[in-house]
Structure 1
Amino acid sequence: MKYRIAIAAWLAITATATPGHAADPRYPDWPCTQAKVPEISLAAVWAGPPLDDVSGKWKDDAKVSALVAKLAARRTPLEEAQKAITEYLSGAADKTASGKLLFAGLFESLNAQRSQVMNGLERVTRKQREAADKIRADTLALQALQSETPPDQAKIDDLGNQLVWQTRIFEDRRNVIKFVCEVPTAIDQRLFTLGRTIQQEIE
Structure 2
Amino acid sequence: MMFRMVTMAAVALAIAGTAARAADPRYPDWPCTQAKVPDISLAAVWAGPPVDDVQSKWKDDAKVSALVAKLSARKTPLDEAERSVKEFLAGSAADKTANAKLLFAGLFDTLNAQRSQVMSGLERVSRKQREAADKIREEAVQLQALQSATPRDEAKVEALNNDLIWKTRIFEDRHKVVRFVCEVPTAIDQRLFALGRVIQQELE
TM bucket normalised to smaller: over 0.9
CA deviations over 1:70-91 (Å, ceiling 9, x no partner) = 0000010000000010111114
Q: Is the 8 A contact 2:11 2:136 kept in 1?
A: no
Deviation at 1:15, TM superposition (A): 5.0
Q: Is the 8 A contact 1:3 1:164 kept in 2?
A: no
Matches within 5 A, 1:109-188: 109-188=110-189
Q: Within 2, Cα distance between the matches of 1:16 and 1:145? A: 25
Q: Within 1, Cα distance between the matches of 2:3 and 2:104? A: 55
Q: Within 1, Cα distance between the matches of 2:24 and 2:149? A: 44
Asked if 1:56 is matched to 2:56, the reply is yes
Amino acid paired to 2:42? L
Q: Is the 8 A contact 2:100 2:199 kept in 1?
A: yes
Q: Within 2, Cα distance between the matches of 1:184 and 1:103? A: 18
Deviation at 1:8, TM superposition (A): 2.4
Q: Within 2, Cα distance between the matches of 1:91 and 1:126? A: 50
Secondary structure of the structure 2 residue equivalent to 1:34: coil
Structure 2, unpaired ranges of 5+ = none
Normalising by structure 2, report the TM-score.
0.95
Asked if 1:94 is matched to 2:95, the reply is yes
Normalising by structure 1, report the TM-score.
0.96
Task: Tell me which residue corresponds to 1:13.
Answer: 13
Secondary structure of the structure 1 residue equivalent to 2:80: helix
Amino acid paired to 1:190? R
Secondary structure of the structure 2 residue equivalent to 1:94: helix
Number of aligned positions between the proteins: 203
Secondary structure of the structure 2 residue equivalent to 1:70: helix
Deviation at 1:136, TM superposition (A): 0.6
Deviation at 1:5, TM superposition (A): 2.6
Secondary structure of the structure 2 residue equivalent to 1:33: coil
Q: Within 1, Cα distance between the matches of 2:202 and 2:40? A: 23
CA deviations over 1:2-49 (Å, ceiling 9, x no partner) = 422321212331453526623221111001111111110000000100
Q: Is the 8 A contact 2:58 2:64 kept in 1?
A: yes
Secondary structure of the structure 2 residue equivalent to 1:134: helix
Asked if 1:191 is matched to 2:167, the reply is no
Moved over 3 A (4+): none
Q: Identical aligned pairs, as a percentage?
A: 71
Amino acid paired to 1:45? V
Task: Tell me which residue corresponds to 2:31.
Answer: 31
Q: Is the 8 A contact 1:20 1:129 kept in 2?
A: no
Structure 1, unpaired ranges of 5+ = none
Q: Is the 8 A contact 2:57 2:102 kept in 1?
A: yes
CA deviations over 1:124-147 (Å, ceiling 9, x no partner) = 000000001110110011111111
Deviation at 1:175, TM superposition (A): 1.1
Secondary structure of the structure 2 residue equivalent to 1:53: coil
